[in-house]
Amino acid sequence: MREQLIRQVEKRQDELIELAKQLIAYETPAPPARNTSDIQAFIADFLQQCEFSIDKWDVYPGDPNVVGVRKGTQSDEYKSLIINGHVDVAAVEPDEPWVTGPFEPTVQDGWLTGRGAADMKGGMAGALFAIKLLQEAGVQLPGDLLFQSVIGEEVGEAGTLQCCKRGYTADFAVVVDTSDLHIQGQGGVITGWITVKSPQTFHDATRRRMIHAGGQLFGASAIEKMAKIVQGLQELERHWAVMKTYEGYPAGMTTINPAVIEGGRHAAFIADECRLWITVHFYPNETHQQVAAEVEEYVMRLAAADPWLREHPPQFQWGGESMIIDRGEIFPSLEVDREHPAVQQLASLHENTLGRSAVIDMSPTVTDGGWFSDFNIPAAIYGPGTLEEAHAVNEKVRVEQLVEFTKVMLSFIYEWCHTKR
């Protein structure tokens, strides 16, 4: 049965490409976001036709999550599976030189082009088409199959987190995001704001008294004090690069990026406040709470050595649920257990179906996949497309790889949901 279905993917690849085109044609860039209602209605209808029950709710107005559940015939005895993907895509600037419009998908020279082709409507289309072929063949899976179509991944709004909070769980989850058909884990990312603030505001003319002998004015520029913190963060970043390693990652992936700085009123004042927005990358065996605490401890030690910062210590605000609303995000890390039965099965099916060994490694970027780890759901990233194409002008995915992905996903859904507990 499975072999026959795999051959159907090849024979009906035009339908697969047409489905991917339909998804790409929905304009869902984030930012601005709040634009996924139509595509989510399409996906909900698609899943209903495949005998899934549908849970659809607004995470934000105009941005609903969709979870489809198809109960297995013997749920208590067989393994369950979550397939997860996001429908938002990277932002598009008006002056980008697309060959056709970013939401006018085309196929040329074996590539499907359009915003989201690689990240990650190609993966969504492949997984949905695999489900459709199983449904049309009358396959009754003994294990539960859940399909999560989420919003907000591009702007840290973590629709996947909302699915986890809503109680959806399974024995394994596959995030069908951009991985070039590698089976991947990931490090994590957390953003944070460091604020230096003076309790008093001083006129620019008082600066001489702050910085010269005998001035007798205990004050400081928040911008200048923040410069010391930035320099200190660079030292901590270098220390991490020397002391921290993780198999499968190049050294120095644990970066601390001083991404945005805001401070001062105008030229007639000493800057009484300065805020630094940092992006911190960490390894799969670390948590965002752990690295935030490391940064805070280091900065507070630096502050303790400065007379003014010791009396006016920096303040910290970490993470957030939206880069759009509260200018902050968290992407937890995801470790992949190579010995997990699902990982081994996925790797074996990849090799048997495509005739080449599976690569199990680490993504240099982040996805929503880390939220599964936070909720103790074993997971891996596995999808078509490359990071070189993701977010790019004239973003594209190879049609051949999209077909390959669909074959492997069809096989994995079938086999995993036929695996006894």
Positions annotated as catalytic residues are: 88, 153
Query: Exposed (0-12), middle (13-18) or buried (19+): which is 415, by Cβ within 10 Å?
Result: middle
53-60 and 81-86 strand pairing = unpaired
Q: Which residues lie below 8 Å from residue 151, measured CB to CB, with a gap of 6+? A: 30, 33, 36, 40, 59, 60, 63, 64, 65, 86, 87, 88, 157, 159
The CB density around residue 207, as the number of other CB atoms within 10 Å, is 15
Left if phi > 0, otherwise alpha if psi is -120 to 50, otherwise beta: which for 371?
Answer: alpha
Q: Can you list the positions of beta strands (E) in 19-80?
A: 53-60, 63-70
Q: Which of 353, 346, 332 is nearest to 417 (CA)?
A: 346
d(CA 291, CA 414): 39
Residue the block writes with tokens 């909302």:
162
Task: Enumerate helices (H) and strands (E) in the chain, giving the number of each.
Answer: 12, 16
Residue among 321, 24, 36 at smallest CA distance from 160 = 321
Q: Where are the beta strands (DSSP E) in 289-388?
A: 315-318, 330-331, 360-363, 379-381
